[in-house]
Amino acid sequence: MVIGGGFGGVNATRALAFADADVTIVDRTNHHLFQPLLYQVAAGILPEGLIAPALRSVVRKQQNARALLAEVTDMDLDGRIVSAVAPDGRRLSLPYDTLVVAGGATHAYFGRDEWAEFAPGMKTIEDARHLRSHILSAFEMAELATDPAERADYLTFVVVGAGPTGVELVGQIAELAHKVLPRDYRTIDTTEAKILLVEAAGAVLGPFHPKLRRYTQRRLEKMGVDVRLNTMATAMDSGSITVKRPDGELERIPARTRIWAAGVQASPLARLLAEATGAETDRAGRVAVLPDCSLPGHPEVFAVGDMVSLNRLPGVAQPAMQEGKYVGKLIRGRLKGDPPPKPFKYFDKGSMATIGHTHAVADAFGMRFTGILGYTMWGFIHVLYLIGWGNRLGTLYTWARALTFSKNRAHRIITFQQAHDEVAHGPPARAEPARPPVRARQGAV
C-alpha cells in the first residue's frame, strides 16, 4: 500500500513494477501533481492537465499496480489496516503487508491559521486555479473601479515569502502586469501595478549561493518588483496586510491580493506515524525515519518525501523521488530474500528557480548559472521530469507559444461567478481543515 501519488509515492510504486507484489496507491486526488510548475498554472501559462496526469494513466502499464481515490484518515500499524474515506463518505478499511507513506506537506502559517483566509498558499491544483482566478479578477475589478484608491488596492499584489515559490510567483505577476496585460486593458495601465515581495530574512532564495541571491533580487527589481527584506507580516484582513519594517515601524499596505509562500508543514500523517511508533517529529511536523526510511519497531512501514526528516534533507522533489525509489527497491529485494541494502544516500543534483521568462538561477554540479543558461537548464530539467511524452511536448509547445511567440497567456478564463466569489468572499475554505479530521487512534496506530 502506498499512500500519496506525489513524487515519493509514484517513485516507490514504479520501483515495485517487477516485484512479486500487488501495489495499491491511494491518493485524495486522482492525479500526480508536478508541483514545481504549479505557479505556471496560477499565471495562466500552462493548462493543469499537462502537469497533473491521472494517477491511473501513470500506472496504466504497471500490471501489478492500481490507484484508488480516497482520503486516508487513520493507520492501524499493529493490525496493518489503513482507514480511508471514499468521496461519497463511505469508510474504507484497506489491509496491507507493507506500507509506504508519502503524504507530502501543506501550508504553515506559523500559528496564524486565520491568515489562510486572507493569503492563500499554493500546494494543489485547486490552489493554483483559485490564485489564477483571484489575480485575473483583481485586474478586472481595477478596470471597473472608478475610485483611484480602490483601483490601486486591486492593483497591489503582495507575495509573502521569497523562497523559490514566492520568487517564481512574483515574477509571473510582474510579467502579467508589465508584458502581457497592458495590451488588453483600455482604462487601467496594468504597468502601474504594485508588486511586493515580503521576506522576513535578509535575502531572497535563502538556501542559494549569495551570488545567485543577489542576481535574483536585482532581476526582480528590474522587473518592477518591490523586494522588502527583513520585513515580517504581522497582521492581515480582507483588504490589507500589515508588515513590520526593518526599522521596527509597522506599515499597513492596502492590497486585495496577498499570497502566502512562506512556510510548509508536514502532512498530519507524519504525526500519526510518530504517535504510533514513538518516532520524533521536528518543528515542521516531519517524522524522523530510520536510515532505511522505515519507522522504529515497524520494518514493514516506510515514510518518504516532504513529511519525513532524514539527514537534514530539504523538502524538495529530489529527496522525495530518491527516497521513494530506494524504498521500492528495498521492498522488492526483501520479497526476493535479498540482504538489506545500505542506508539511503542522497545524490544532490542541485537546485534552481526561475525569475520570469529567460531568467533563472541554477546551482548544480558545483557550478552556478544565471540568465538564459540557467533558464535553459531549468526548462530542460523540468520538462524531463514531467510524466509522459505528451505532457513534455505539450509543455514545450505551450511555452514556445505563450512565452516566445504570442507573449500571451492562453489560460485566462474566469466567469462572473468566480470573480464575484473572489471579490465578495475571498478565497474558498482551504482544503486541509475542510476534510474529515485525521484521527490518532490510541495504542493501535
Ligand X SMILES: Cc1cc2nc3c(=O)[nH]c(=O)nc-3n(C[C@H](O)[C@H](O)[C@H](O)COP(=O)(O)OP(=O)(O)OC[C@H]3O[C@@H](n4cnc5c(N)ncnc54)[C@H](O)[C@@H]3O)c2cc1C
Spatial separation of the C-alpha atoms in residues 375 and 379, rounded to whole Å: 6
In the complex with ligand X, the residue whose CB is nearer, 180 or 438, is 438
Spatial separation of the C-alpha atoms in residues 4 and 263, rounded to whole Å: 21
How many residues make contact with ligand X (CB under 6 A)? 34
**With binding defined as CB under 6 A, does residue 3 bind ligand X?**
yes
In the complex with ligand X, the residue whose CB is nearer, 41 or 200, is 41
Question: What part of residues 262-281 is at the interface with ligand X (CB under 6 A)?
Answer: 267, 269
Check if the beta carbon of residue 48 is closer than 8 Å to that of residue 393.
no
- Residues 168, 175, 199, 422: which is the catalytic one? 168
Q: Which residue is nearest to ligand X (CB)?
A: 6
C-alpha to C-alpha distances, 181 to 7, 136, 257, 311, 355, nearest whole angstrom: 34, 10, 17, 45, 18
**With binding defined as CB under 6 A, does residue 29 bind ligand X?**
yes
**With binding defined as CB under 6 A, does residue 165 bind ligand X?**
yes
The set of residues, in sequence order, having a beta carbon less than 8 Å from that of 66 and lying 6+ positions away, is 22, 23, 24, 25, 59
Q: Give the DSSP letter of residue 203.
A: S
Check if the beta carbon of residue 123 is closer than 8 Å to that of residue 41.
no
For the sheet with 71-76, list strands across it.
71-76, 81-85, 91-95
Residue found under cell 490589507: 240
- Can you tell me which of 164, 328, 379, 426 binds ligand X, judged by CB under 6 A? 164
Check if the beta carbon of residue 49 is closer than 8 Å to that of residue 129.
no
**With binding defined as CB under 6 A, does residue 306 bind ligand X?**
yes
Spatial separation of the C-alpha atoms in residues 42 and 28, rounded to whole Å: 21
**With binding defined as CB under 6 A, does residue 4 bind ligand X?**
yes
**With binding defined as CB under 6 A, does residue 53 bind ligand X?**
no
In the complex with ligand X, the residue whose CB is nearer, 28 or 134, is 28
In the complex with ligand X, the residue whose CB is nearer, 253 or 307, is 307
**With binding defined as CB under 6 A, does residue 320 bind ligand X?**
yes
298-303 and 294-295 as β-strands: parallel, antiparallel, unpaired?
Answer: antiparallel
- Can you tell me which of 13, 35, 294, 370 binds ligand X, judged by CB under 6 A? 35
- Can you tell me which of 14, 27, 195, 271 binds ligand X, judged by CB under 6 A? 27
Scanning 223-370, the segments in alpha helix (DSSP H) are 268-277, 317-336
| Residue (of 30, 74, 87) closest to 439 by Cα position | 74
* Smallest separation, CB 159 to ligand X (Å): 12
Residue found under cell 512565452: 403
367-369 and 308-309 as β-strands: parallel, antiparallel, unpaired?
Answer: unpaired
Spatial separation of the C-alpha atoms in residues 25 and 66, rounded to whole Å: 6
In the complex with ligand X, the residue whose CB is nearer, 176 or 438, is 438
Check if the beta carbon of residue 122 is closer than 8 Å to that of residue 42.
yes
308-309 and 287-288 as β-strands: parallel, antiparallel, unpaired?
Answer: parallel
**With binding defined as CB under 6 A, does residue 71 bind ligand X?**
yes
By CB under 6 A, which span of 31-39, 110-118, 181-189, 408-416 interacts with ligand X?
Answer: 31-39
By CB under 6 A, which span of 5-13, 16-24, 177-185, 236-244 interacts with ligand X?
Answer: 5-13
Neighbours of 261 (CB within 10 A): 25
Site track 105-124 with ligand X (rule: CB under 6 A), x = hit: -----------------xx-
* Smallest separation, CB 132 to ligand X (Å): 13
Which grid cell sits at 239?
A: 483588504
* Smallest separation, CB 402 to ligand X (Å): 19
In the complex with ligand X, the residue whose CB is nearer, 38 or 159, is 38
Which grid cell sits at 423?
A: 471579490
- Can you tell me which of 17, 81, 316, 423 binds ligand X, judged by CB under 6 A? 316
Spatial separation of the C-alpha atoms in residues 421 and 134, rounded to whole Å: 9
Q: Give the DSSP letter of residue 206.
A: T
To which H or E segment does residue 50 belong?
helix 48-51
By CB under 6 A, which span of 29-37, 59-67, 86-94, 389-397 interacts with ligand X?
Answer: 29-37
Q: Known catalytic residue: 168?
A: yes
By CB under 6 A, which span of 199-207, 214-222, 228-236, 315-323 interacts with ligand X?
Answer: 315-323
- Can you tell me which of 5, 166, 374, 427 binds ligand X, judged by CB under 6 A? 5
In the complex with ligand X, the residue whose CB is nearer, 155 or 403, is 403
**With binding defined as CB under 6 A, does residue 356 bind ligand X?**
no
- Can you tell me which of 36, 171, 374, 379 binds ligand X, judged by CB under 6 A? 36
**With binding defined as CB under 6 A, does residue 48 bind ligand X?**
no
User: Which residues are catalytic, by number?
Assistant: 168
Chain residues that interact with ligand X, rule: CB under 6 A? 3-9, 26-29, 33, 35-36, 38-39, 71-72, 102-104, 122-123, 164-165, 267, 269, 305-306, 315-318, 320
